[in-house]
C-alpha cells in the first residue's frame, strides 16, 4: 500500500502538467497556431510540424502535436508534462532551461502598423509612451525586452496574436511586433479586405532562427535533441528542408492538399 501511495504521488504532478508521460517512441510537442509556420488549419499542421514529424519518423518515433496558448505550452514543457515546444527563438534566458535544436527556419521580427500611423522613431527609446501590443511567452530581442522591463516601452502583453492584430486594426495599439511572415498571414486571415491598410517597419527588431526546444531538466530532453538534430541534418542535406520551406513561402500549406503529393511537387 505504501508503494502504491508513493506511485500516485509521483503521477499526480505529471498528470496535472498535461497528461501521462510520453512513451519511449512517442514524442509530444506543445505548440500554438502561428501561421504560416504551424497551425491546426494548415496541411499537416504546417511545414515546420511536417519536417519535425519526418525527422523523428526516420528514427522510428511517432509525433503528437498539442495546441495551447503560448505561455501554457511553454510551462507544460518546462515542467516535464510534454517533451518539447516550437517554434522558439533561443534567447539567453531560454537557453538556461532548454536545449535548442538545429535551426528550423530564419525568422525576421518587425513592427507592424497601419499605413500613415507609424510613430516617428530612430531608436526604441523614441517609442516611449506609444501603445505597443505583445504576446505572452514571446521573445522580442534583448533591446526590446530590456526597455519593456524598465518601463521605457508601454507594452501590454496578452495571450493571443489574433487579438493583438485586431487591436492594431482597431487603433487600440499603434505597433505590434511579430514575425514578418506570420504577421501578414494572420492579417490575411482576419482582414482579407483591408490588407492595403497594413504595413511594417523595414527595420527588423531582430533576425534570428526558430528552433524546437527541449527541457534540460529531463534526461529524455537531451536524447530527443540528439535524435532530432541528426535526422534533421540528413533532411537538410538531401534538399528536403529547402523544398518544404519553399512550399511554405509559396503558401502551399495554406491551400487544400493535392492528393498524394508532398509539398513542392506538381500534380
The domain spans of the chain are 25-106+208-254, 108-207
Rounded average pLDDT over 149-165: 95
User: What CA–CA distance (Å, rounded) separates 52 from 66?
Assistant: 14
Which CATH superfamily, name and number, covers 108-207?
Answer: Periplasmic binding protein-like II (3.40.190.10)
Q: Do domains 25-106+208-254 and 108-207 have the same CATH topology?
A: yes
Rounded average pLDDT over 8-29: 59
pLDDT of residue 12: 40
Q: Is 0.85 topped by the overall pTM?
A: no
pLDDT of residue 257: 58
Q: Report which of 64, 48, 54 is spatially closest to residue 238, judged by C-alpha positions.
A: 54
Q: Is the pLDDT of residue 30 over 80?
A: yes
pLDDT one-digit tens code per residue, 75-96: 999 998 899 999 998 988 899 9
Average pLDDT, the chain: 88
Q: Is the pLDDT of residue 34 over 50?
A: yes
pLDDT one-digit tens code per residue, 171-182: 999 999 999 989
pLDDT of residue 264: 52
User: What CA–CA distance (Å, rounded) separates 168 from 178?
Assistant: 12
How is domain 25-106+208-254 classified at the CATH fold level?
D-Maltodextrin-Binding Protein; domain 2 (3.40.190)
User: Are the C-beta atoms of 230 and 108 separated by less than 8 Å?
Assistant: no
More confident position, 236 or 263: 236
Q: Where are the beta strands (DSSP E) in the chain?
A: 26-31, 62-67, 84-88, 98-100, 105-114, 131-135, 154-158, 176-179, 198-200, 206-215
Rounded average pLDDT over 36-51: 95
Amino acid at each position: 500500500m505504501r508503494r502504491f501511495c508513493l506511485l500516485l504521488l509521483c503521477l499526480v504532478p505529471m498528470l496535472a502538467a498535461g497528461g501521462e508521460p510520453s512513451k519511449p517512441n512517442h514524442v509530444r510537442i506543445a505548440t500554438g497556431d502561428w501561421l504560416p509556420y504551424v497551425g491546426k488549419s494548415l496541411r499537416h499542421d504546417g511545414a515546420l510540424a511536417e519536417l519535425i514529424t519526418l525527422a523523428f519518423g526516420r528514427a522510428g518515433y511517432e509525433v503528437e502535436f498539442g495546441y495551447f496558448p503560448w505561455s501554457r505550452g511553454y510551462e507544460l514543457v518546462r515542467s516535464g508534462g510534454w517533451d518539447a515546444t516550437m517554434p522558439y527563438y533561443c534567447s539567453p534566458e531560454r537557453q538556461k532551461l532548454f536545449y535548442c535544436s538545429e535551426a528550423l527556419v530564419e525568422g525576421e521580427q518587425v513592427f507592424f502598423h497601419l499605413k500613415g500611423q507609424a510613430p516617428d522613431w530612430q531608436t526604441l527609446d523614441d517609442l516611449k509612451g506609444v501603445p505597443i501590443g505583445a504576446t505572452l511567452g514571446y521573445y522580442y530581442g534583448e533591446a526590446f525586452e530590456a526597455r519593456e522591463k524598465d518601463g521605457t516601452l508601454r507594452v501590454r502583453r496578452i495571450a493571443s496574436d489574433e487579438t493583438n492584430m485586431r487591436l492594431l486594426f482597431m487603433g487600440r495599439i499603434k505597433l505590434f511586433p511579430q514575425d514578418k511572415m506570420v504577421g501578414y498571414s494572420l492579417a490575411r486571415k482576419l482582414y482579407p479586405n483591408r490588407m492595403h491598410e497594413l504595413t511594417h517597419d523595414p527595420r527588423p527588431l531582430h533576425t534570428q532562427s526558430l528552433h524546437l526546444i527541449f527541457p534540460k531538466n529531463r534526461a529524455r530532453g537531451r536524447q530527443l535533441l540528439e535524435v532530432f538534430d541528426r535526422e534533421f541534418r540528413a533532411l537538410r542535406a538531401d534538399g528536403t528542408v529547402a523544398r518544404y520551406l519553399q512550399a511554405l513561402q509559396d503558401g502551399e500549406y495554406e491551400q487544400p492538399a493535392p492528393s498524394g503529393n508532398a509539398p513542392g511537387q506538381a500534380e
